A and B are shown apart, each in its own frame.
Chain A
Amino acid sequence: MKTIAFASLLIATAIVPAQAQSSPQAGGRYQAVLGDCEGCHTAVGGKPFAGGTVLQTPFGKIAVPNITSDHDTGIGSWTEADFRRALREGESPGGERLYPAMPYPAYAQMSDADVASLWAYMKTVAPVHNAVEPNLLPFPFNIRTLMAGWNWLYFKPAPFAPTAGKSADWNRGAYLVNGPGHCGACHAPKTLLGADRSAALTGASLQGWFAPEITGAKPRGIGNWSAGGIATYLKTGWSSHSVATGPMAEVVERSTSQMTDGDLNAIAVYLKDQPAGADMQPASASLRSDPAMQAGGRLYRDNCATCHGADGKGERLIFPPLAGNAILVQSSAESLTRVVLAGAQAAGTKAAPTAPSMPSYAWKFNDAQVANLLTYIRNNWGNAAQAVSAESVGKIRAGLSGGPSLANKE
Chain B
Amino acid sequence: MPWGVQPSRRRFLASASALPILAFAGGAMARSISGTLPWQAFAGEPPKPVNPLGWFFFTPDEVATVEAIVDRLIPADSLSVGGKAAGCAVFIDRQLAGAFGKSSKLYMKGPFANGLPTQGYQGTLTPEGRYRDGLRALNDHVRTGHAKSFAQLAPHDQDAMLAGLESGQLDLKLAQGLSTRAFFELVLQNTMEGFFADPLYGGNKGMVGWKLVGFPGARYDYRDHIEKHNVPYPKGPISIYGES
Residues of A within 8 A of B (CB): 253, 298, 301-303, 305-307, 310, 341-345, 347-348, 353, 355, 357, 359-360, 362-364, 400, 402-403, 405-406
Contacts and interface: CB of A to CB of B under 8 A. Distances in A.
Q: Is the interface of B mostly helix, strand, loop or mixed?
A: loop
B44 interface: yes
15 contacts: A298-B244, A301-B235, A307-B221, A342-B41, A345-B39, A348-B36, A355-B37, A355-B39, A357-B37, A359-B43, A359-B44, A360-B42, A362-B42, A364-B241, A364-B242
A405 B39 CA distance: 17
B242 A363 contact: no
Contacts of A400: 41
B238 A360 contact: no
B116 to A, nearest CB: 44
Contacts of B37: 345, 348, 355, 357
B41 A402 contact: yes
B227 interface: no
Contacts of A344: 41
Instruction: Point out which of B37, B41, B220 has the most chain A C-beta atoms below 10 A from its C-beta.
Output: B41
Contact of B42 (A298, A310, A405): A405
Contact of B36 (A355, A403, A405): A355
B75 to A, nearest CB: 31
A216 to B, nearest CB: 31
Nearest to B242: A364
A360 B39 contact: no
B35 interface: yes
Contact of A306 (B46, B221, B241): B221
A301 B235 CA distance: 9
Interface in B225-244: 235, 238, 241-242, 244
Nearest to A301: B235
Given A305-B221, A343-B44, A360-B43, 10 more contacts: A302-B219, A306-B220, A343-B39, A343-B41, A343-B42, A348-B37, A360-B44, A364-B242, A400-B41, A405-B44
Contacts of A348: 35-37
A302 B36 contact: no
B242 A406 contact: no
3 nearest A-B pairs in the assembled complex, by CB-CB distance: A348-B36, A402-B42, A306-B221
Nearest to A246: B41
A302 B244 contact: yes
A403 B242 contact: no
A344 B42 CA distance: 9
Contacts of B235: 301
Given A360-B41, A405-B46, A306 B219 contact: yes
Nearest to A237: B36
Nearest to B243: A302
A348 B39 CA distance: 12
Nearest to A298: B244
A299 to B, nearest CB: 8
B224 interface: yes
B182 to A, nearest CB: 41
Nearest to A343: B41
B35 A342 contact: no
Interface in B72-97: none
A302 B221 CA distance: 10
Given A302-B242, A364-B242, A343 B43 contact: yes
B39 to A, nearest CB: 4
A127 B221 CA distance: 53
A253 B224 CA distance: 35
Contacts of B220: 306
A347 B244 CA distance: 33
Contacts of B44: 343, 359-360, 363, 405
Contacts of B242: 302-303, 364
Interface in B199-230: 219-221, 224
A200 to B, nearest CB: 31
A403 B42 contact: yes
A402 B43 CA distance: 9
A8 B215 CA distance: 68
A343 B43 CA distance: 8
Contact of A302 (B35, B43, B224, B238): B238
Contacts of A342: 41-42
A310 B224 contact: yes
Contacts of A303: 242
A348 B36 CA distance: 6
A168 to B, nearest CB: 35
Interface string B149-180: 00000000000000000000000000000000
A355 B46 CA distance: 23
Contacts of A306: 219-221
Contacts of B46: 363-364, 405
A358 to B, nearest CB: 10
A405 B221 CA distance: 26
Nearest to B42: A402
Contacts of B241: 364
A114 to B, nearest CB: 28
A305 B238 CA distance: 13
Contacts of B221: 305-307
A355 B221 CA distance: 21
Contacts of B224: 310
Contacts of A301: 235
A406 B44 CA distance: 11
Contacts of B35: 348
B243 to A, nearest CB: 9
Contacts of A345: 36-37, 39
A163 to B, nearest CB: 38
A60 B215 CA distance: 53
A364 B45 CA distance: 11
A359 B221 CA distance: 17
A305 B224 CA distance: 10
Contacts of A406: 42
